[in-house]
């Protein structure tokens, strides 16, 4: 085989190998949901009055995935839901990394007003924490970080709300409680 033939053969082999990389997200059912193949996590089209914005995304080009949600009412609330493998190298796959991102998003003048355990009512064996930032630069905004760990997975929910009182905080808590926690860990990662 000539050098040119070897080069084409190598490129063809790389093309086949490259196309064999599995996409970590797949459409699921007829209701607009997407499934993260490795963890089984479902990204439904709507959750507790929030609608998913577009389709879910890969994080840093790896198998971690996330999606953004906003209320159907069009208010200035947003929530990012990200799912990471426990051994992910993504910065937000650790509580410290996620806290750093939340602090940047909340703004320089925002301080942590509380950090406390957060339990999902329907799920046992998941450790969670809620970190609340208040007093942000943009007057009247609230940033909450919810971070959960299991043996194999990390789930980060980073939410912002224009309502800083109990109503805004309660709406964000209700959204996190209503996420499809029962799907986490339901897949083996095999396509």
Average pLDDT for 69-80: 83
b/e map 137-150, b = 16+ CB within 10 Å: eeeebbbbbbbbbe
Cβ proximity of 115 and 147 under 8 Å: no
Superfamily of chain region 22-183: Mog1/PsbP, alpha/beta/alpha sandwich (3.40.1000.10)
pLDDT digits (tens, 9 = 90+) for 92-117: 999 999 999 998 888 777 778 889 99
Select the more confidently predicted residue: 76 or 120. 120
pLDDT above 70 coverage of the chain, percent: 79
Cβ proximity of 90 and 156 under 8 Å: no
Confidence (pLDDT) at 140? 66
**Main-chain dihedrals φ then ψ at residue 118, nearest 5 degrees:** -135, 115
Cα angle for residues 151, 152, 155 (degrees, 5° grid): 100
For residue 159, pLDDT beyond 60: yes
Select the more confidently predicted residue: 163 or 54. 54
Helix (H) or strand (E) segment spanning residue 96: helix 95-106
For residue 87, pLDDT beyond 90: yes
For residue 175, pLDDT beyond 80: yes
Among the residue ranges 10-19, 112-121, 162-171, the one predicted with the least confidence is 10-19
For residue 19, pLDDT beyond 50: no
b/e map 24-50, b = 16+ CB within 10 Å: bbeebeeeebbbbbbbbbbbbeebbbb
pTM of the predicted protein model: 0.82
Average of per-residue pLDDT values in the chain: 80
């Amino acid at each position: 085989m000539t050098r040119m033939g070897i080069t084409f053969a190598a490129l063809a082999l790389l093309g086949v190998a490259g196309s064999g990389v599995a996409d970590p997200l797949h459409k699921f059912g007829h209701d607009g949901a997407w499934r993260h193949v490795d963890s089984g996590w479902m990204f439904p089209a709507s959750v507790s009055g929030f609608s998913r914005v577009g389709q879910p995304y890969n994080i840093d080009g790896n198998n971690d995935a996330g999606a953004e949600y906003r209320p159907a009412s069009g208010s200035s609330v947003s929530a990012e839901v990200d799912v990471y493998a426990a051994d992910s190298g993504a910065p937000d796959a650790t509580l410290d990394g996620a806290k750093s991102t939340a602090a940047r998003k909340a703004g320089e003048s925002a301080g942590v007003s509380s950090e406390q355990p957060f339990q999902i009512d329907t799920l046992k064996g998941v450790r969670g924490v809620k970190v609340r930032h208040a007093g942000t630069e943009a007057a009247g905004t609230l940033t909450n970080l919810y971070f959960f760990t299991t043996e194999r997975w990390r789930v980060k929910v980073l939410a912002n709300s224009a309502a800083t009182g109990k109503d805004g905080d309660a709406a964000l808590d209700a959204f996190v409680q209503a996420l499809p926690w029962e799907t986490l860990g339901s897949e083996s990662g095999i396509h």
